[in-house]
């Protein structure tokens, strides 16, 4: 497995990470046994970075990862690095109720995550979004206290803009910024990526297949009762335009003998050695396909052809609904 370091201060991780959210939440029913088998297969393939959030399935995802690690081979269990997002508040119906990143909340959330995961430390701990009522310096300072106490190894950020990145990094070294980055979500290129590079901060890119939209498997007539039913890019009037981009990409992938998903993941990885794509595979076959992207080498001609097929800003619709976009510091 290829390796990449997350920034100047972060850990060395596999060149591909596994995003585990969909195994518990927001993408419809999943199979527990297949989810655990997928985590085991990822570890066996050399993937070391497992990404989760304490609010994914209201703790279910952390417990699932904990179960998978307990039943994994010892050497594979020991190589796993866990990245946890915290701060998002949920209600009993699964709705969203804002954010809480006060220093006392940081320690409370961390305590529960340690217990659910069955570990004595979190490798990368990060606020999921900015709490408008709490200065980021206070939140990062509280996590830094937990680093000193040995409960956290590294501090990350999620979906924040350049000013917030700089303010956070002034308090404690930041290993990586987790942010959506794909062929059709390229907002990071408008200053955020350069800021990370100026400060020696890595990037863990989620949504590299845009929630399946550019995976090559999604079809316009596919019905969804999950998060995507409310996603602007999957709505009528937008989805057909976006899938036309996928078909243009499919021609390039076919010429190289690879899948659409593989070329889309490889494109993200090709944007810099400081970027680690996270793939949200819930099944072993999708994981196997994603792992194939590591063998894809994109030439300058390939990258130019991809840019022509899916130019920056070509996507129809925002990546989240209006109220969710308003919570993204990275979009301001």
- Examine the residue annotation and report whether 56 is marked as an active-site residue of this protein: yes
Q: At what angle do helices 32-45 and 284-291 cross, to 10 degrees?
A: 30
**Residue 92 CA: distances (Å) to CA of 95, 96, 128, 307:** 7, 10, 19, 44
Report the SS3 class of residue 202: strand
Are 167 and 137 a contacting pair, CB within 8 Å? yes
Helix (H/G/I), strand (E/B), else coil: 63: helix
The Cα 155–Cα 112 span in angstroms is: 18
User: 3: which strand partners?
Assistant: 14
Question: How many C-beta neighbours within 10 Å does residue 27 have?
Answer: 18
Paired residues of 50 in beta bridges:
18, 82
Q: Catalytic: which of 27, 56, 99, 151?
A: 56
Cβ–Cβ under 8 Å, residues 152 and 110 = yes
Active site residues: 56
């Amino acid at each position: 497995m290829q390796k990449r370091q997350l920034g100047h201060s972060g850990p060395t991780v596999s060149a591909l990470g596994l995003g585990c959210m969909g195994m518990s939440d927001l993408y419809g029913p999943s199979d527990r046994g297949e989810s655990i088998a997928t985590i085991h297969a990822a570890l066996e393939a050399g993937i070391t970075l497992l990404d989760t959030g304490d609010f994914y399935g209201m703790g279910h995802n952390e417990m699932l990862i904990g179960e998978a690690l307990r039943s994994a081979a010892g050497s594979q269990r020991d190589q796993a690095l866990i990245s946890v997002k915290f701060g998002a508040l949920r209600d009993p119906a699964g709705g969203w109720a804002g954010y809480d990143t006060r220093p006392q909340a940081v320690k409370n959330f961390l305590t529960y995550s340690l217990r659910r995961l069955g570990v004595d430390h979190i490798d990368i701990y990060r606020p999921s979004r900015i709490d408008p009522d709490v200065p980021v310096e206070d939140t990062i300072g509280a996590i830094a206290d937990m680093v000193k106490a040995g409960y956290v190894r590294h501090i990350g950020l999620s979906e924040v803009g350049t000013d917030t990145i700089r303010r956070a990094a002034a308090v404690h070294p930041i290993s990586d910024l987790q942010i959506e980055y794909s062929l059709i979500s390229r907002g990071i290129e408008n200053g955020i990526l350069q800021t990370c590079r100026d400060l020696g901060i890595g990037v863990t890119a989620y949504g590299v297949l845009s929630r399946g939209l550019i995976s090559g498997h999604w079809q316009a007539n596919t019905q969804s009762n999950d998060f995507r039913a409310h996603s602007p890019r999957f709505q009528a009037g937008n989805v057909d335009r976006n899938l036309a981009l996928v078909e243009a990409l499919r021609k390039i992938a076919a010429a190289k003998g690879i899948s659409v998903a593989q070329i889309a993941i490889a494109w993200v990885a090709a944007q810099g050695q400081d970027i680690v794509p996270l793939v949200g595979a819930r099944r072993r076959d999708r994981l196997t396909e994603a792992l194939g992207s590591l063998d894809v080498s994109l030439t300058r001609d390939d990258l130019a052809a991809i840019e022509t097929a899916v130019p920056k800003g070509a996507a129809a619709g925002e990546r989240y609904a209006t109220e969710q976009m308003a919570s993204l510091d990275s979009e301001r």
